[in-house]
Chains A and B, each alone.
Chain A
């Protein structure tokens, strides 16, 4: 077996509220048509889920869409879009494990939809950037207003993106990786 022929996988999580543009963001940069994987609720997570009935049985599955970007011969980036509701947080634990970090997408029309994601990433110590998706190129709020409204710490970048455009998505990912590097340097 030639082990060097297998690239190293890295991943980035794309989080945010309902219909904020997560799937669009992933598909704009993915080499493949985004795929969907389903995960069933695990035992431990039943405690945090409120759909489960009294006996702890639950039929909840979570669908995640994801894309794949070849960064070089040796490196593959996976982008996982994840549902934003609190009850899917069990999936986030799994998603952020070993991840470079997260992009939290924000629709300025519904800022509050991304609270859970910002909150989660902060508490989990996951490097993240907040990316304001300028729907139709219209930015209804200045990024710094968004920072203030969401109470995003000063060291976390608040960027403007456009989920439909590959270059904008790439720049957002670059912003996240730079931020992750800063955090890795600070930790070391």
Chain B
């Protein structure tokens, strides 16, 4: 293998994941890994007209899925999933629970932790 072959392969690897996003690597909205995404009514109505990955996301999220799950189920990089989901959020086709940046950097508060504790103890 020549030097330039390696270079080409390298470039192909770097670029391909973001073909789906038109080269964009940043999502329109802040989406933590665990942000739950759910298809809206307009999302359901739009299904027939969606491209493959968008269609997959919109149908998958009929029951809420995290961004990480979307990435895993579609076998796409996390950041690519984020960009696609961000677009769908902006278009109102899916909705997500965790919206504000400030909120998601905070640790869960005591009330939420108590609910988690209750939940774990009932497992």
Contacts and interface: CB of A to CB of B under 8 A. Distances in A.
Check if A and B associate: yes
Interface of A: 1, 3, 5-11, 29, 35-40, 42, 57, 59, 61, 64, 66, 68-69, 71-72, 74-78, 80, 94-95, 97-101, 127, 166, 170, 173-174, 177-178, 180-181, 184-185, 188
Please report whether the interface of chain A is mostly helix, strand, loop or mixed according to DSSP. Answer: mixed
Contact of A40 (B66, B79, B123): B79
B97 interface: yes
B19 interface: no
Given A59-B10, A66-B68, A184-B109, A6 B116 contact: no
Please report whether the interface of chain B is mostly helix, strand, loop or mixed according to DSSP. Answer: helix
B46 to A, nearest CB: 14
B106 interface: yes
A150 B41 CA distance: 53
Given A39-B78, A39-B79, A7 B116 contact: no
Interface residues of B, number: 45
Given A8-B112, A9-B35, A40 B77 contact: yes
A75 B108 CA distance: 12
21 contacts: A1-B40, A5-B38, A10-B108, A10-B112, A11-B33, A38-B78, A61-B77, A71-B116, A71-B118, A72-B122, A75-B116, A76-B66, A78-B66, A97-B104, A98-B32, A98-B107, A98-B108, A99-B107, A101-B107, A180-B113, A185-B110
Contacts of A77: 116, 119-120
A174 B121 contact: yes
Contact of A9 (B34, B115, B119): B34
A174 B17 CA distance: 38
A140 B61 CA distance: 46
A35 B64 CA distance: 16
Interface string B22-44: 00000000001111101011000
B52 interface: no
